[in-house]
Structure 1
């Protein structure tokens, strides 16, 4: 009896899923035609329809939408794709106090460098751009052209979402239309032989 409720719920939400699909396709189409505000509006509508009907968007679609403005992130069209530089740890230097009651900490700040270091960093960045080393620790980020939000992605290829794994599939549902189409394909193959 519990299985029938799950089947009924997935079949009743079909119109919501098709509406979300249409809105997502419309937003990507508008983004390709350089109408970013309308594309962001359709993307936001797609998210709102899903949250109102309690339907979860797949992780692959979530990754393509901007978190802030819901614009579809298309590298080269409306976003810039960059390799993130390796972040250096801010080191904490602790001086030994003369008295035991007080301690002083001096932080080395990146922004407070003298002019010599700024000129040297420009040369280092030019050299680093020519020799980018991509490994599992490297991050890629997409910067939205509409709102300026950055979305980071790890390059680690061994990680995948739970939803994308084969163990996550509990049950595959086939509707009556798909079953009829599959049966017709089998009959056509038998006739051709």
Structure 2
């Protein structure tokens, strides 16, 4: 009766590795979204974490700014984030622009929030010319516009990025991963119990 157990162990090991691979691949793909845009002397890459913002859930936005002509990072710039405006709304009467984003830091007198230049974050080295805003929260789902104003010796420029905010709900990746782990642990426990008998 040892013959059936060896294939079962191989199947369980293969399933475990497949589940872990899927879990890491999904988390890596969902880790950050990315949009690129040229404006004036700048090439700007916007990255968000998580990739898809959800209503009333905090997220992080990073701007990577380079000189469009040379590709060199733009460091020491003043990067201001305006309040996000909603371009469309699910509520019929609120179809115009409206404020709806809150941030962990306060707005200054110019009606914007300075993004902080980053060289490293939590021991992880970041690209030169990276500017970050943490704790962004949108109050409802829909299409939003985010304006970023950049000032440096290269000149002043404003870039606008579209942001789609979804309805918050259950994390299906996490639920599926937990269910998969529970199934594998149950199968392993059943195998060990059978082996003892």
* Shared fold, TM over 0.5: no
Give the TM interval when normalised to the shorter protein.
under 0.3
Bigger proportion of residues as strand: 2
